[in-house]
Amino acid sequence: MTPSPTDPHPQGRRHPPAGSSAEGDLRSQGESHQPGEPHPPSGPRRLGEPRHHHDELGSTNDEARRLGAEGAPHGTTVTATAQTAGRGRQGRPWVAPPGRALTVSVVLRDLPSPALLPLAVAVAVARTVGDEARIKWPNDVVLVDEDPASDAVTDGPCHPAPPAAAPAPLRKIAGILCEGRPAEGWAVAGIGLNVALDLADVPAEIADRAATMGREPSELDAVLRELLEQLALVLDLPADELLAAWSTRDVLRGATIGWERPGGGPGGEGVADGVDEQGRLRVRTANGVELLDAGEVHLLRR
């Protein structure tokens, strides 16, 4: 899944190593269990098995959706060295040099809070990148291009005081695309993470807005294992703890943002004020609080 220059995928600045057209709207789902059905066992459920790896694939999300529709079990993982038709949110193209970025999609079943899946995936990716990683609603993990002495974060159950708006440029290190079939009780979490990208491999217009973990290509599998471990842990968090963990890394809170609705309807401007219990972005405007759904709006670049 990799953004074009208009939706840049994180592929530029090196960073020192540290420790995804939905078929169903995941944000509108409630509990995935039907009355009388057994709930999944407590505790994190293992991810990454079985793993289907491809040297080249059109889209890991498309393949994971195919497997999900055929009944693939929870945790089934699709990876690719190279993607030829990757995409991000709202169909934007997603491209990465072969063997330099982690492109992975995971089939997930019986999620307790499907609407919060994009938030959970973002927290897992950010934890994999390190304390300096921040989350830009709805689907990006970024690094703030500022003094590295800025405060680190620690995920926990308590919401921090709202951070001041950061005027520094944001450099994208990962993109997320979550899709699924709510009626069938499964979803796919697609992730593109810049693990070992080199500035020389990326067009300048993308490199200016991109970041990478600065790892070696040989470390892709190690990063994948860490990412899947983090995702399993985050998916097991109660909703309030997940929202708190997401909030500690919210890079937009307190910042003035603008948005448009590509499908039609009014745009607007206001001050971002976190997310609600359904993962919608809260924005304080002159007319009150507006709740933005990621499937309906596009944030304007500032």
pLDDT at residue number 202: 78
By residue range, what is the domain housing residue 130?
26-247
pLDDT at residue number 14: 42
Domain of 92: which CATH number?
Answer: 3.30.930.10
Is residue 110 within 8 A of residue 87, CB to CB? The reply is no
* Domain co-membership, 53 together with 174: yes
* Domain co-membership, 225 together with 274: no
The region of weakest confidence among 50-54, 201-205, 244-248 is: 201-205
* Domain co-membership, 62 together with 110: yes
* Domain co-membership, 285 together with 211: no
* Domain co-membership, 97 together with 192: yes
* Domain co-membership, 183 together with 290: no
pLDDT at residue number 159: 46
Number of domains in the chain: 2
Q: Does 208 or 60 have the greater pLDDT score?
A: 60
Domain final residue, candidates 247, 266, 287: 247
Residue 234 lies in a domain: yes
Mean pLDDT of 203-223: 91
pLDDT at residue number 301: 65
- 121-160 pLDDT, tens digit per residue, is 999 999 999 999 999 999 999 999 865 444 455 555 444 5
* Domain co-membership, 59 together with 35: yes
Domain of 275: which CATH number?
Answer: 2.30.30
